[in-house]
A and B are shown apart, each in its own frame.
Chain A
């Protein structure tokens, strides 16, 4: 799923480290915090579910060697579990 689909489906607001998203498909509102909020915002901007692309959108260095990789994966899984991101 590309970025255009994401921006068409979702309305997004962010304050500091946290944000809220409105899912036009289901009429639901979700609160996202911390890494999860950042990953979601990165996906909206880059449209890719690849960790490397998301890390790039987040201006992180080589994600393969980053300790944050686990946290990024967890956040992706959380967003997918909530139906906000497509399954990889």
Chain B
């Protein structure tokens, strides 16, 4: 069978067959991921969420071989569970079987964060506009993924929802263009914001509540090999009723946040210190409070059009 340009060029049955055989090579930015599963809901989820991603059948080389499968014991049947494996090893405890599609995504996050030390891997969303990258680092509950989804659906190129990958020498950001993880009320918010968006299966009663994933925009996937230079670091915070407000943030505090929230900062030693220092030097750093997505988009669009140290709008 010839290699397909995109996953959606295959029929779902064929994609599921390739995944059962462990022959589906999925291209995510600079990485090739071999995905294996015999679970139909996981195969359907991958097929839906990665529809626009390039695929290769039985690639000669894969950066990682990942699989989601049922355990070999009675947990196949009673209070069923699903395991995530990378290179044949299970790096964490199994989750309830119904969470298997989400487990595939969470497992991939872990694999990339813990295994790709050629980059500095920061826990942050990143998007590009006019060749410059916006980094959104924030703790859970800050509205980071909601904002990331809205920006990605309104002309910003999605690099990543969870992992910002920085070359420690050039400081250029790599894109993965993987699905965006949304939870609870954010799901309905983004569904109303963009009714044509495509979603994966909803998973209930996870430790994060109700979660699902949003398919990344096609253009983001098509341009995922383009590197771009970080220009802004913005810490978003959803505050009910707040007017949008962008305020400068202390650079040393921004550095410290990255040092504490990069998955592999310590692995890089002084190279990491130097790279994060240069990153903070070259970026404008802000705190951003907002309550309405449309207001937030207006502020970020303003930011994209004004590269100099101008005063943000109030």
Looking at the complex, which one of A11, A18, A22, A27 makes contact with B253 (CB distance below 8 Å)?
A18
Contacts of B280 in A (CB 8 A): 15
Specify which of A11, A22, A24, A27 lies most central, judged by the most chain B CB atoms within 10 Å of its CB: A22
Assess whether B274 is interfacial by the CB under 8 Å rule: yes
Q: How many residues of B contact A (CB 8 A)?
A: 15
Looking at the complex, which one of B256, B266, B269, B270 makes contact with A20 (CB distance below 8 Å)?
B256
Ordered nearest first, which 8 A-B pairs have the shortest CB separation? Answer: A18-B252, A15-B251, A22-B273, A13-B277, A31-B256, A20-B255, A15-B252, A29-B259
Assess whether B250 is interfacial by the CB under 8 Å rule: yes
Nearest CB in chain A: distance from B131 CB, A:
25
Assess whether A67 is interfacial by the CB under 8 Å rule: no
Nearest CB in chain A: distance from B236 CB, A:
21
Assess whether A48 is interfacial by the CB under 8 Å rule: no
Q: Please report the C-alpha to C-alpha distance between residue A11 and residue B268 in the assembled complex, in whole angstroms.
A: 14
Assess whether A73 is interfacial by the CB under 8 Å rule: no
A27 contacts B250, C-beta separation under 8 Å: no
Looking at the complex, which one of B251, B255, B266, B274 makes contact with A11 (CB distance below 8 Å)?
B274
Contacts of B256 in A (CB 8 A): 20, 29, 31
Assess whether A70 is interfacial by the CB under 8 Å rule: no
Contact code string A8-50 (vs B, CB < 8 Å = 1, else 0): 0001011110111010100101011100000000000000000
